[in-house]
Chain A
Amino acid sequence: EVQLVESGGVLVHPGGSLRLSCAASGFTFSTYTMNWVRQAPGKGLEWVSYISTTGTVYHSDSVRGRFTISRDNAKNSLYLQMNSLRDEDTAVYYCARGQVGSSYVIFQHWGQGTLVTVSS
Chain B
Amino acid sequence: DIQMTQSPSTLSASVGDRVTITCRASQYISNWLAWYQQRPGQAPKLLIYKASSLESGVPSRFSGSGSGTEFTLTISSLQPDDFATYYCQQYNSYSWAFGQGTKVEIK
Give complex CA distance A105, B87 in Å: 15
Q: When the two chains form their complex, are residues A113 and B91 in contact, meaning their CB atoms are under 8 A apart? A: no
Main secondary structure of the interface of A (DSSP, over half): loop
Chain B nearest CB from A76 CB (Å) reads 19
Interface residue? A106 (CB, 8 A):
yes
**Chain A, residue nearest B93 (CB):** A105
Chain A nearest CB from B62 CB (Å) reads 16
A60: chain B residues within 8 A (beta carbon) = 95
Give chain A interface residues in 59-108, CB to chain B under 8 Å: 60-61, 94, 99, 104-108
Q: When the two chains form their complex, are residues A104 and B32 in contact, meaning their CB atoms are under 8 A apart? A: yes
**Chain A, residue nearest B100 (CB):** A44
Contact with A along B41-80 (1 / 0, CB 8 A): 0111110010000010000000000000000000000000
Q: When the two chains form their complex, are residues A111 and B43 in contact, meaning their CB atoms are under 8 A apart? A: yes
Give chain B interface residues in 1-47, CB to chain A under 8 Å: 1, 32, 34, 36, 38, 42-46
Chain A nearest CB from B81 CB (Å) reads 17
B99: chain A residues within 8 A (beta carbon) = 44
A110: chain B residues within 8 A (beta carbon) = 43-45
Chain A nearest CB from B101 CB (Å) reads 5
Give complex CA distance A85, B19 in Å: 40
Q: When the two chains form their complex, are residues A107 and B44 in contact, meaning their CB atoms are under 8 A apart? A: yes
Q: When the two chains form their complex, are residues B91 and A45 in contact, meaning their CB atoms are under 8 A apart? A: no
**Chain B, residue nearest A47 (CB):** B96
Interface residue? A27 (CB, 8 A):
no
Give complex CA distance A61, B97 in Å: 12
Q: When the two chains form their complex, are residues A106 and B43 in contact, meaning their CB atoms are under 8 A apart? A: no
* A and B contact pairs by CB, cutoff 8 A, 21 listed: A44-B100, A45-B36, A45-B89, A45-B101, A46-B98, A47-B95, A47-B97, A47-B98, A58-B94, A99-B49, A104-B32, A104-B91, A105-B96, A107-B36, A107-B46, A108-B46, A108-B49, A108-B55, A110-B44, A112-B42, A113-B43
